[in-house]
């Protein structure tokens, strides 16, 4: 007496639909060979569709030649690469088979329902009979990875014999080789027809297993099925409520970094430099992805570079001149000399004599400084320029020492890939002027129109590239999207002796610990759940965008109270350009909330109006605003 087992959904189960394993292989091809693919096949679903067509064609050919309608995966891969690549490549069928086996190992687990059957028939010889496009050698490797508690004497795969269970021929072949008849044969499987009905018709005793059903439609922008509620906390403690709010934000953080990593893989980028401050949060997701890799290919390394607009701007200036300072003044069209020197990181005390010489008050906000006669005279003062040039030269030398000593980055032709949150890539501009021989690519959450002419060696990409979402959702919540990724480690203000010097207001650090860290812990927990999901369900990064866009709309229009509290706790350094700390206003008193005119005036000056109304408990303003808009519409229609 022998017992044979089907493999899939009998001995082992998958954590995904079988076609998603094929989709993983399609994504592997796209990640490694995108530039070599025909335009049509630069899409994982088109690659999958073509593979399925090839499998069907080979099955039909084998049936016509007298075999059963089966195929072998190596032959499928050989034909697939001939179809999808622009020109013939060296055969990669073994490489693709190896990767698909590895993915099967990742997604499979032993079916717990098979263990009692193993135990019941522990003394019988055990075989596998499987209709599958991988041969016995590959299937054995997958099963051995799971360390089955039984010994399989031999695997009969339809791929090796081009015979299958559906016709009954694979059963007959196995019985012939083993030397048994149907009365000496028990078969276990999940397929009602090929494992049960056909086997019974041959006189084989059968045991039916439960078939696994997964929802899967092989089409672009298919729905995400992860459930973030699984990692939320039930407690009503403030910290836990902030944690749960962070869980809801997790897809923005995770999918942004996922897209960065995918871009780096496709473009053969070996290292990603995440910029302080927000980059210190982003890099944790990169490290999560690297530790629990959903891509199936080698991932780029990651590292933090300590930079800021303030620490890099003065080092990027060739000289103190109108032309050079216009890169700053194009953004800050009104500025005092005090704010300018703070932005440059230069002590104004050493230059007061020059300011007095030209009658410039250091605290005076000067409108369009480049047109101001006094400022023009200052910029043309040779003695002043020579003195301040010494400081600018020191700034560049200190920055270069930091990059050389800490990061082994120098001004050579090695490309550099940097990541920041956005919004115009000013730090990247500064670095491009400093490292003139490098091509520097920057990846951002989103980008707005640039104030200045872009350096020739600079290239910028944004994840959120829908201008409507950028202008209607992101713009209103732009400070929130910076604040929630704040690590509380302060901003880099300068470099000394090869080290980055940081500055953080104690209030900023306190508020980050109180509000932002619990939010971030929730984001990290949510990101772990999403990453585990992505290991088994392949998506291209572009497919994640609509999910994020919808989430941003929900956050803007229906803001969570805990998130709003964190938003209005905001305190962070904005020395660059303004010499100020950003702080949100305190809640209005009950009397102030009843003052409709005051509330309306304040609301006009607020970018994120929905959050403002919730925070100050003036939701009635929303009703008034909508009513007013409706009346205007009616009157206009008359």
The pLDDT of residue 565 is 86
- Indicate whether 84 and 196 sit together in one domain: yes
Q: Compute and round to an integer the Cα radius of gyration of the chain.
A: 32
The C-alpha atoms of residue 59 and residue 53 are separated, in whole angstroms, by 10
Same domain, 13 and 151: yes
Q: How many domains does the chain have?
A: 3
Q: Which residues pair with 2 in a beta bridge?
A: 125, 185
Span 481-503, pLDDT tens digits: 989 999 999 899 999 999 999 98
573 within a domain of the structure (yes/no): no
Instruction: Give, in degrees to the nearest 5, the angle at Cα 216 between 212 and 217.
Output: 150
CA 635 to chain centre: 48
Q: Which of 378, 406, 434 is the last residue of a domain?
A: 406
Report the candidate in 52, 118, 124, 128 with the shortest Cα–Cα distance to residue 84: 52
Q: How far, in Å, CA of 524 to CA of 526, rounded?
A: 5
197 in the same domain as 315: no
The most distant pair of C-alpha atoms in the chain lies apart, rounded to whole Å, by 110
Q: Is residue 319 helix, strand or coil?
A: coil
- Is residue 401 a part of any domain in this protein? yes
Q: Does residue 314 share a domain with residue 197?
A: no
How many residues in total does the chain contain?
638
Do 147 and 15 have their domain in common?
A: yes
d(CA 369, CA 375): 6
Q: Are residues 16 and 138 in the same domain?
A: yes
Residue 311 and residue 494 in contact, taking contact as beta carbons nearer than 8 Å = yes
| Any domain includes 42 | yes
Cβ atoms within 10 Å of 419's Cβ, excluding its own: 26
CA distance 355 to 375: 9
pLDDT of residue 505: 83
Q: What is the reported pLDDT for 421? A: 95
Instruction: Please tell me the predicted confidence (pLDDT) of residue 629.
Output: 53
Query: Residue 134 belongs to a domain with what CATH number?
Result: 3.40.50.1000
For the beta carbon of residue 433, count every other beta carbon within 10 angstroms: 20
Task: Report how far residue 353's alpha carbon sits from residue 603's, in angstroms, rounded to the nearest whole number.
Answer: 44
Same domain, yes or no: 188 and 322: no
Q: By three-state DSSP, how is residue 85 classified?
A: strand
Check if the beta carbon of residue 30 is closer than 8 Å to that of residue 542. Answer: no
In a domain, 556, yes or no: no
Distance CA 573, CA 584 (A): 13
Give DSSP secondary structure letters for 271-284.
EEEEETTTHHHHHH
Contact 29, 96 (CB under 8 A): yes
Residue appearing with tokens 């400081």: 391
Do 199 and 320 lie in one domain? The reply is: no
The answer to whether the pTM exceeds 0.85 is yes
Indicate the SS3 state at residue 185: strand
Within this chain, do residues 145 and 22 fall inside the same structural domain, yes or no?
Answer: yes
Closest to 145 in 3D by CA, of 97, 203, 103: 103
Q: Tokens standing for 262?
A: 């995918």
Say what angle helices 279-291 and 517-536 make with each other, to 10 degrees: 30
Final residue belonging to a domain, choices 377, 406, 435: 406
Q: Of 406, 427, 460, which closes a domain?
A: 406
pLDDT score for 185: 97
Range of the domain at 162: 2-208
Extract the residue ranges of the chain whose pLDDT is less than 70: 571-591, 593-595, 597-598, 617-638
State whether residue 262 is helix, strand or coil: helix
């Amino acid at each position: 007496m022998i017992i044979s087992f089907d493999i899939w959904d009998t001995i082992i189960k998958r954590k995904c639909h079988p076609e998603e394993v094929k989709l993983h292989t399609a994504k592997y091809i796209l990640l490694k060979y995108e530039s070599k693919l025909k335009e049509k096949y630069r899409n994982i679903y088109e690659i999958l569709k073509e593979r399925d067509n090839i499998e069907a064609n080979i099955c039909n050919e084998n049936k016509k030649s007298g075999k059963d309608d089966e195929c072998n995966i190596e032959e499928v891969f050989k034909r697939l690469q001939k179809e999808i690549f622009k020109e013939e490549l060296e055969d990669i069928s073994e490489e693709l088979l190896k990767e698909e086996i590895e993915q099967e190992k990742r997604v499979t687990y032993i079916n717990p329902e098979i263990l009692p059957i193993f135990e019941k028939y522990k003394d019988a010889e055990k075989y596998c009979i499987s209709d599958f496009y991988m041969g016995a050698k590959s299937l054995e490797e997958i099963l051995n990875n799971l360390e089955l508690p039984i010994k399989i004497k031999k695997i009969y795969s339809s791929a090796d014999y081009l015979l299958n269970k559906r016709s009954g021929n694979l059963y007959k072949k196995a019985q012939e080789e083993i030397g048994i008849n149907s009365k000496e044969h028990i078969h276990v499987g999940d397929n009602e027809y090929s494992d049960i009905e056909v086997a019974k018709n041959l006189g084989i005793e059968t045991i039916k297993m439960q078939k696994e059903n997964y929802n899967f439609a092989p089409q672009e922008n298919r729905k995400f099925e992860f459930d973030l509620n699984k990692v939320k906390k039930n407690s009503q403690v403030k910290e836990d409520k902030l944690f749960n709010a962070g869980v809801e934000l997790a897809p923005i953080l995770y999918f942004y970094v996922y897209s960065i990593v995918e871009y780096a893989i496709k473009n053969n980028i070996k290292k990603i430099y995440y910029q302080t401050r927000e980059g210190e949060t982003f890099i944790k997701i990169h490290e999560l992805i690297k530790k629990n890799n959903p891509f199936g290919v080698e991932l780029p390394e990651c590292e933090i570079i300590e930079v800021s607009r303030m620490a890099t701007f003065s080092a990027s200036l060739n000289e103190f001149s109108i032309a050079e300072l216009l890169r700053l003044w194009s953004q800050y069209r009104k500025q005092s000399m005090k704010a300018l020197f703070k932005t440059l990181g230069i002590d104004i005390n050493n230059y007061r004599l020059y300011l007095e010489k030209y009658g410039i008050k250091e605290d005076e906000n000067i409108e369009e400084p480049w047109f101001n006669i006094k400022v023009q005279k200052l910029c043309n003062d040779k003695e002043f320029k020579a003195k301040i040039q010494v400081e600018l030269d020191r700034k560049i030398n200190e920055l270069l020492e930091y990059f050389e000593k800490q990061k082994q980055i120098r001004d050579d032709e090695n490309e550099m890939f940097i990541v920041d949150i956005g919004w115009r890539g000013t730090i990247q501009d500064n670095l491009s002027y400093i490292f003139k021989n490098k091509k520097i690519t920057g990846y951002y959450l989103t980008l707005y129109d640039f104030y200045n002419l872009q350096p020739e060696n600079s290239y910028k990409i944004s994840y959120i590239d829908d201008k409507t979402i950028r202008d209607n959702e992101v713009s209103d919540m732009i400070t929130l999207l910076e604040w929630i990724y704040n690590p509380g480690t302060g901003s880099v203000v300068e470099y000394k002796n090869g080290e980055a010097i940081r500055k953080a207001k104690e209030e900023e650090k306190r508020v980050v610990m109180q509000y932002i860290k619990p939010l971030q812990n929730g984001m990290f927990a949510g990101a772990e759940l999403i990453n585990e999901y992505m290991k088994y369900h392949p998506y291209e990064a572009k497919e994640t965008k609509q999910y994020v866009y919808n989430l941003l709309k929900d956050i803007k229009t229906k803001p969570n109270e805990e998130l709003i509290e964190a938003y209005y706790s905001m305190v962070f350094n904005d020395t660059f350009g303004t010499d100020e700390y950003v702080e949100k206003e305190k809640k209005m008193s009950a009397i102030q909330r009843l003052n409709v005119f005051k509330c309306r005036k304040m609301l006009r000056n607020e970018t994120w109006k929905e959050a403002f109304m919730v925070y100050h408990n003036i939701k009635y303003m929303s009703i008034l605003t909508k009513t007013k808009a409706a009346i205007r519409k009616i009157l206009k229609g008359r």
